[in-house]
Amino acid sequence: MNRLADIGWEDFERLSFDAKRPYLEREEGDGLPYHTLFAQQFDRALLERLCALANRIRFINKSKEGALYLKNVLAHKRAMLYFSQPSSRTFLSHLAACQILGITTGSVRDAATSSEFKGESKEDSIRTFSSYFDMIIMRSPERGLAEKMAWELSNSDRPIPILNAGSGKDQHPTQALLDIYTLLRSFENAGGIDGKTVTFCGDLMRGRTVRSLSYLLTNFRDVKQVFVAPQELQVPADVVMILAKKGISFEVCDNLRDAVKVSDAVYMTRIQDEWDSSKGASAKIDTSRFKFGAEELKLLKPTGAILHPLPRRDEIATCCDRDPRAMYWRQMRNGMWIRAALIAATFGFERTIMDCGY
Ligand code: CP
């Protein structure tokens, strides 16, 4: 259960992220999320808890006995994957996470194949899914839709949790969780994330993963954030405002090579031309200096890490793929483990898994 039934939609919508957070937690008072909607729900303690659970699931799953144990943990649950925007990684890693935990799944990957095509509202669609499933994992091009749907369900007679798997240009909280999990693992023997410099490069204006990860990084001590992009695609004002308000050190610039030299992690992103207001608008922007290749690899610290939420186009040259600092393939697989952890925690199985004998 959750607390979103205690407040009207308009009152909830106008709250700050911090004020919204308690409404989205599990009623059991364990501090874990019930609905996962935005990055601001996660503080450092919660991130570390989820990463520890992901490590535990990863370890248990190594043996056949452990994998069979995990497959039984949530065998009584069903999850709906409702994706009305294209996806490979987020869809498949959530699917694989459900399979690890024994959750049965259903999916809609295109509203044109559901009764939305016949004019059914999104509210009615979600209500329909909740009749058959115990969780909805949803991706939508619409900003704030996951929030609205979470409120709708919490105020129905079938309240079930919603996981936001990407909403408009604004949030991609589970991607940010896997990015943090990857950074924690990358810097496990190098003092963790504290004190590191993280450079974001590419389409920072429209990259929802950037907004969510930039926020999660504010949970760590003395992390500097550097934003490298063409002027037209620079980091949006709301992200900068949060950093300024929290007193986080950051820099906005357009020289990737200079940034790489001082970075511990470089987070490359694709040009998100699917959001172009007129066809071909992005193609007119000179992005040639915002690509990571052999020259940038030479400048990166020996302990550095290259991340990318993927899919990539040409912003990371394939010659980097076999470098031990290229984390983007591991990052993708890490998504499966941290999403399994989040789903297990959402259903209240954190302690069961942490304390099991495997
Ligand atoms: N990173 C990410 O969201 O990838 P997909 O769009 O393939 O899910």
**pLDDT tens sequence across 93-110:** 999 999 999 999 999 998
Q: Cα separation of 22 and 5, whole Å?
A: 12
Beta strands in the chain (DSSP E): 78-83, 104-108, 135-140, 162-167, 197-201, 224-228, 250-253, 265-268, 305-307
Q: How remote is the CA of residue 206 from the centroid of ligand 1, in Å? A: 14
pLDDT in tens, 295-317: 999 999 999 999 999 999 999 99
Q: CB under 6 Å to ligand 1: residues?
A: 87-91, 166, 175, 309-311
Task: Identify which of 170, 173, 162 has the alpha carbon closest to the alpha carbon of residue 122.
Answer: 162
Point out the ligand 1 atom lying closest to the alpha carbon of residue 93: 8
- pLDDT value of residue 220: 98
Point out the ligand 1 atom lying closest to the alpha carbon of residue 165: 3
Q: Cα separation of 73 and 97, whole Å?
A: 12
Q: Quick one: DSSP state of residue 120?
A: -
- pLDDT value of residue 3: 84
pLDDT in tens, 15-62: 999 999 999 999 999 999 999 999 999 999 999 999 999 999 999 999
- pLDDT value of residue 348: 97
- Pocket probe for ligand 1: among 84, 85, 90, the residue whose CB has the most ligand atoms within 8 Å is 90
**Taking phi first (over 0 means left), then psi (-120 to 50 degrees means alpha), and beta for anything else, what does residue 278 get?**
beta
**Atom 1 of ligand 1: nearest residue by CA position:** 309
What values do phi and psi take at 43, rounded to 5?
-100, 180
Point out the ligand 1 atom lying closest to the alpha carbon of residue 86: 6
- pLDDT value of residue 111: 85
Amino acid residing at 266: V
Task: Identify which of 344, 346, 352 has the alpha carbon closest to the alpha carbon of residue 34.
Answer: 346
Point out the ligand 1 atom lying closest to the alpha carbon of residue 166: 3
Q: How remote is the CA of residue 175 from the centroid of ligand 1, in Å? A: 8
Question: Which secondary structure element, helix H or strand E, spans residue 179, and what is its range?
Answer: helix 173-186
Q: How remote is the CA of residue 358 from the centroid of ligand 1, in Å? A: 32
Task: Supply the residues annotated as catalytic.
Answer: 89-90, 118, 139, 172
- Pocket probe for ligand 1: among 175, 179, 316, the residue whose CB has the most ligand atoms within 8 Å is 175
Q: How remote is the CA of residue 114 from the centroid of ligand 1, in Å? A: 22
Is 222 in a helix, a strand, or coil? coil
**Atom 6 of ligand 1: nearest residue by CA position:** 87
Q: How remote is the CA of residue 141 from the centroid of ligand 1, in Å? A: 13
- Pocket probe for ligand 1: among 87, 95, 208, 269, the residue whose CB has the most ligand atoms within 8 Å is 87
DSSP H helical ranges for 39-142: 44-60, 64-73, 89-100, 122-132
**Atom 4 of ligand 1: nearest residue by CA position:** 89
Digit-by-digit pLDDT tens for the chain (358 residues) are 568 998 999 999 999 999 999 999 999 999 999 999 999 999 999 999 999 999 999 999 999 999 999 999 999 999 999 999 999 999 999 999 999 999 999 999 988 889 989 999 999 999 999 999 999 999 999 999 999 999 999 999 999 999 999 999 999 999 999 999 999 999 999 999 999 999 999 999 999 999 999 999 999 999 999 999 999 999 999 999 999 999 999 999 999 999 999 999 999 999 999 999 898 999 999 999 999 999 999 999 999 999 999 999 999 999 999 999 999 999 999 999 999 999 999 999 999 999 999 9
Q: How remote is the CA of residue 96 from the centroid of ligand 1, in Å? A: 14
